[in-house]
Structure 1
Amino acid sequence: MASRVTFVAAARNSPLLAERFDDDRPLDQGGWDEVRRVVPDLLPLAAADLRYCSPTPRCRATGDALGYAPLAQLALRDCDMGRWRGLTLGEAMAREPQAVDSWFADPRGTPHGGESLLSFIVRVGGWLDTRPVGDGGSVVAVAEPSVIRAALVYALNAPPATYWNLDVHPLSAVTVTGGTGRWYLRIEGVRSQPSRA
């Protein structure tokens, strides 16, 4: 039996256009309200054999509010954005438009002086491959959307540019199954109720 790793995206801490690179702010009121609404749906994941989170305040708070009591994992930290840390994408574009274009185009590039996209994907994938669960074991990890995107690129063995085509919404969940170097995306449908005639 394959291991099962479910990633849950942290609740928001700012409106989408105000999101900042390497953001370490706590949940905003909207984020807390969203968590309260989804607790009934995501609480069953607390039964996982292992429960982790990215080391950011919003991931820890999301995991705790969902009843996971997760252990922070340094390997699940956001991509190191160097001198762009704390900036929005718009602010980075206004300051260094060519560097931002280069960052989007070259997965090995580090125009911000931090971590390359490829290194980020490999780091997150290395964490995924080393989860200490046996066959049939389950893991839940509350992470930044960027970390989940990196994990999916790694799990699917997709080209690094695929990272830019993935959209991860706050409090969404995605599951990969498998094991070291061989992961599969698991998409679960809603079970329909039998119709009453």
Structure 2
Amino acid sequence: MPLRVTFVAAARSSSLLAERFEDDRPLDQDGWAEVLRVADALLPLAAAELRYCSPTPRSRATGDALGYAPLVQLALRDCDMGRWRGFTLGEAMAREPEAVDAWLADPLATPHGGESLLAFISRVAGWLDTRPVGDGGRIVAVAEPSVIRAALVYALKAPPATYWNIDVRPLSTTTVTGRAGRWNLRLEGASAQPTRA
């Protein structure tokens, strides 16, 4: 039986335009309200055998508010952005436009002095591949949207540039199933049953 890992995107602590690299801000009032609105729908995930979260304050708070009591996983931390830590993309672009362009174009680039996109994806992949499988099981992990995007790029064996084309909304869920090196994206929800004539 394959392992089932459901990622829950942390609630937001700022507007999308104010999102900062390696944002350590706690949930704001709007973030808490969002968690309360979806808590009933996400509460069943607390039955997972293993419950984890990114080390950010908003990931921990989201997991705790949903009743998961998650264990912090350092491997699920955001990409190390070096000297751009705490900047918005616009602020980094205003200071170092050529460096930002290079970083966006080359998955091995580290003009900020931090982690490359490829190294970040590989770190998240390593975490995913080392989850205990046993006879299958369920895992829930509350993580930053960037971590979930990295996990999806790896699970789908997509080119690293695909990372920039994945949109992970706050408090959305994404499930992958499988085992080390063999992951599948699982889309869930209501489905129409075929009608019989």
DSSP 3-state at the match of 1:42: helix
| Structure 1 letter corresponding to 2:29 | Q
On the 8 A contact 2:13/2:25 being kept in 1, the answer is yes
Match of 2:17 in 1: 17
Deviations 1:7-33 (A, max 9, x none): 000000000000000000000100000
Q: 1 CA distance for matches of 2:191 and 2:140?
A: 22
Match of 1:135 in 2: 135
Match of 2:185 in 1: 185
For residues 11-160 of structure 1, the aligned pairs below 5 Å read 11-160=11-160
Deviations 1:45-99 (A, max 9, x none): 0000100000000000000000000000000000000000000000000000000
TM-score of the two chains, using structure 2 as the length reference: 0.96
Post-superposition offset of 1:191: 4.8
Match of 1:173 in 2: 173
Q: 2 CA distance for matches of 1:192 and 1:49?
A: 30
| Structure 2 letter corresponding to 1:26 | P
DSSP 3-state at the match of 1:63: helix
| Structure 2 letter corresponding to 1:178 | G
Number of residue equivalences: 193
Q: Identify which range, 126-135 or 35-44, moves more after superposition.
A: 126-135
Q: 2 CA distance for matches of 1:191 and 1:30?
A: 31
Post-superposition offset of 1:38: 0.3
Post-superposition offset of 1:132: 1.3
DSSP 3-state at the match of 1:25: coil
Q: Mind listing any 5+ residue stretches in structure 2 that lack a counterpart?
A: none
Percent of residue pairs identical: 81
Q: 2 CA distance for matches of 1:53 and 1:82?
A: 22
On the 8 A contact 2:2/2:133 being kept in 1, the answer is no
